[in-house]
A and B are shown apart, each in its own frame.
Chain A
Amino acid sequence: MAEDVKNIAVEEKEATIAFGAKERKLITDPLHLNNPLTVQVLGICSAMAVTSQVYPSLIMAVAVVFVTAFSSLIISLLRNSVPSSIRMIVQLLVIAALVQVVSLVLGAFAYSAYESLAVFIGLIITNCIVMGRLEAFAMANRPWQSFLDGVGNGLGYGFILVAMAVIRELFGKGTIMGLEILNPIFGLFGATYTPNNLMVLPAASLFVIGLMIWVQRGLDDRLVDIS
């Protein structure tokens, strides 16, 4: 996990100039220490049902990165001109408009994915991470920092999503992105892989994320829930 974090950070660093240690932290923090799914536990709702296969999870991850990044940017630009009494509605409208854009783009370019994801793409609106980051970060910070914070949280979310999908598809079907993985390996020893049907059930996503939380908190004492 640590290597992934570094790789992403390095790529981002090369791509942009205004990118000091503080900005880098905005991207790397949500990947591990402040991960939206396993630490903040936000945005579970719209994620669970898509993780039984890797391909829809990748699409969902990209869509969420796009929405968190640009909603943070827009709200940060607007933050001084929006009265606080109507800020919720403004945030929701910005998010809803962006999600609508994602949904139209998907419908045009990846129709099969759009059909199976339709309801869940719409649910990005009520994804608590998006609203959470707007309230907690974008309302009080400059546009560039807010944009990075949005990208970081979107990536942290997408990373866990794809990792869950890999585990579930690999053991549930023996494939990754539809490619046979486990059967050829088992074939070397003259055996065949029997898919574990539990992993295809929706409930398995909860077991997988529960175990991931267990592993992550077991490795890092700072994250253990003391209460």
Chain B
Amino acid sequence: MDSINIFIKAAFIDNMVLAYFLGMCSYLAVSKTVKTAFGLGLAVIFVLGITMPINWMINTYLLAEGAIVEGVSLEFLRLILFIAVIASMVQLVEMVIEKASPSLYNSLGIFLPLITVNCSIMGGSLFMVSREYSFGESVAFGLGSGLGWFLAIIAIAAIREKLRTADVPPALRGLGIAFILTGLMGIAFMSLTGLNPADFTK
């Protein structure tokens, strides 16, 4: 049941974008229309869901103290290995999607490589280490954070589509208003803080 709690918590309460502001670069750059936001959001869920368990295995079976040689800790290699896993997984996902479903590849195409430098992917893996999740929990955390990111980018894209007809002061147009809107959304999401996922899964 712990995994379900972590999934709900990652998606709604500790939302990657609205509580930690991770993945903001692509969040702001790709949120002009709902259609492209939808594609990028799906790709992020996918990559987070895959890299999190792989990085968990690397961290536990290769890097942890005494994992390979007794008394030796390879933790100083963590950042380098994590980013290498993320970069190669994104590359792999790109190739698999291209083979398996060319139509999906065409709609996602340009956004896939961008995911490598999406901070929420790397941030997810680092949070997983610092919170000491188990394997199942890290899968749930990956999928949950992906879903949270997906919801946030869809929401801001929908708002920005409506904003195009609004009368925003010239100096605030574009990114300025997008920042302030994200802040307001963050405050709205904070109302979920009191929520205890354990209550639903008793």
Residues of A bordering B, CB below 8 Å: 41-46, 48-49, 88-89, 92-93, 96-97, 99-100, 103-104, 118-119, 122-123, 125-128, 131, 201-207, 209-211, 213-214, 217-218, 224-225, 227
Contact = CB atoms under 8 A, between A and B. Distances in A.
Nearest to B81: A96
Contact of A224 (B87, B171, B182, B186): B171
- Majority SS at the chain A contact face: helix
Contact of A210 (B76, B113, B180): B180
Given A100-B76, A100-B79, A225-B173, A44 B126 contact: no
A203 B187 contact: yes
B21 A48 contact: yes
Given A126-B121, A217-B171, A89 B84 contact: yes
B172 A104 contact: no
Contacts, number: 133
B183 A206 contact: yes
Contacts of A204: 183
Given A44-B25, A126-B83, A217-B170, 18 more contacts: A41-B25, A45-B123, A48-B20, A89-B87, A92-B87, A123-B22, A123-B122, A125-B83, A126-B123, A201-B190, A203-B187, A204-B183, A207-B179, A211-B180, A214-B172, A218-B171, A225-B175, A227-B174
B30 to A, nearest CB: 12
A225 B175 CA distance: 8
Interface residues of B, number: 46
A213 B79 contact: no
A218 B123 CA distance: 34
A127 B173 CA distance: 24
Contact of B76 (A104, A123, A126): A104
Q: Which of A122, A131, A224 has the most CB of B within 10 A?
A: A122
Shortest 9 CB-CB distances between A and B: which pairs?
A: A206-B183, A225-B174, A45-B119, A48-B21, A210-B179, A203-B186, A44-B24, A217-B171, A210-B180
Contacts of A131: 117
Contacts of A214: 169, 171-172, 176
A225 B32 CA distance: 14
A86 to B, nearest CB: 10
B159 to A, nearest CB: 14
A126 B182 CA distance: 21
Interface string B26-39: 00110000000000
B172 A217 contact: yes
Interface string B162-173: 000000011111
30 contacts: A41-B28, A42-B25, A44-B25, A44-B28, A45-B21, A45-B120, A45-B123, A48-B21, A92-B83, A92-B87, A96-B79, A96-B80, A104-B76, A118-B126, A118-B130, A119-B130, A122-B79, A123-B22, A123-B119, A123-B123, A125-B79, A126-B122, A131-B117, A201-B187, A202-B19, A203-B184, A204-B183, A206-B186, A213-B179, A225-B175
